[in-house]
Amino acid sequence: MLLGKGVMINWTNAAPEDRPRYDAWQSHEHTPGRLAIPGFLRGRRCIAVFPEKADRQFLTLYEVDALEVLTSAAYLAKANDPSPLTRATTPVVRDSVRGLARVRASYGPGVGGCALTLRFDPQPRAGSEAALETYLTRDALPVIAQRADICGAHWIVADPDASAMKPVERQGRAVTLPNWIVMIEGMTPQAVTQAGDALLSNAQLIAHGCAPAIIRDVYTLQYLHAAKGVVG
């Protein structure tokens, strides 16, 4: 189960030659700095299991008490005063898809070593959002979370206004905004893939009100940091 009711979620790329400084910056400065902000609970980064097929190489997720943490004065003070290392490193982070989002539903006992993410939109016709929400929260995610090899099943919806904010550290970088997001956490890539195929196939989602453009990728955990006093 996710901690808190808000998340910052980000899919990105980085060129192979930029990986050492990207890795060092994110794990030694960026993530600890974020987790020092009040309301940040846990941060993690994952890497694509199938990089040759992945839409983005990296998945980064920060769990926070509520969406408002991500628009708070404490967060914006940090984001509007980037360190020299942040200024030097963020240009190598490319093709960002980034959402500041509300956790609409979260099931399961813990954190998995692998994750399947799906990004999609509801169909524009009337009633699609309600039908898709019902399918996710009644028929799909709670059932998936009961599997022995699954640790969590989550539905997240990005807030367009919060996601569109561009503090100083993000200025000059193009960012794509996601909308609805599903994340399945499990013990192996096969577990999350099979769980997704069972109840979250493209055909099933479209039949319950999802637009056809669905982006799905499988990731494996690289590291996880918890804020002081938070059990990771």
Q: Got the DSSP string for 103-140?
A: EEEEESSS--SEEEEEEE-B-SSTTHHHHHHHIIIIII
**Quick check: pTM over 0.85?**
yes
Over range 6-22, report the average pLDDT.
96
What pLDDT is attached to residue 33? 95
Burial classification of residue 231, based on how many CB atoms lie within 10 Å of its CB (0-12 exposed, 13-18 middle, 19 or more buried): exposed
**DSSP for 135-202, written as a single string:** IIIIIIHHHHHTSTTEEEEEEEEE-HHHHT---GGGTT--EE---EEEEEEESSHHHHHHHHHHH--H
Is residue 6's pLDDT more than 80?
Answer: yes
What kind of fold does domain 6-226 have according to CATH?
Alpha-Beta Plaits (3.30.70)
- If you average pLDDT over every residue of the chain, what do you get? 96
Host H or E run for residue 27? none
Host H or E run for residue 35? helix 31-35
> If DSSP codes are grouped into helix, strand and coil, which group holds residue 92?
helix
Q: Which of 98, 84, 83, 87 is nearest to 13 (CA)?
A: 98
Is residue 36's pLDDT more than 70?
Answer: yes
> If DSSP codes are grouped into helix, strand and coil, which group holds residue 64?
strand
What pLDDT is attached to residue 232? 63
- Please state the separation of Cα 24 from the chain's center in Å: 21
Is residue 115's pLDDT more than 70?
Answer: yes
Is residue 228's pLDDT more than 90?
Answer: no
- Ordered by start, the domain boundaries in the chain are 6-226
Question: Do residues 138 and 104 lie in contact, with contact meaning Cβ atoms separated by under 8 Å?
Answer: no
In the DSSP assignment, the letter for residue 224 is: E
What confidence tens digit (pLDDT) does each residue in 17-30 have? 999 999 999 999 99
More confidently predicted of 138 and 175: 138
What confidence tens digit (pLDDT) does each residue in 148-189 have? 999 999 999 999 999 999 999 888 778 899 999 999 999 999
Q: Which two tokens stand for residue 77?
A: 């003070």
Percent of the chain topping pLDDT 70? 99
What confidence tens digit (pLDDT) does each residue in 37-74 have? 999 999 999 999 999 999 999 999 999 999 999 999 99
Q: In sequence order, what are the residues at sequence separation of 6 or more whose Cβ sits closer than 8 angstroms to the Cβ of residue 59? A: 9, 10, 11, 45, 46, 47, 48, 115, 117, 217, 219
What pLDDT is attached to residue 224? 96
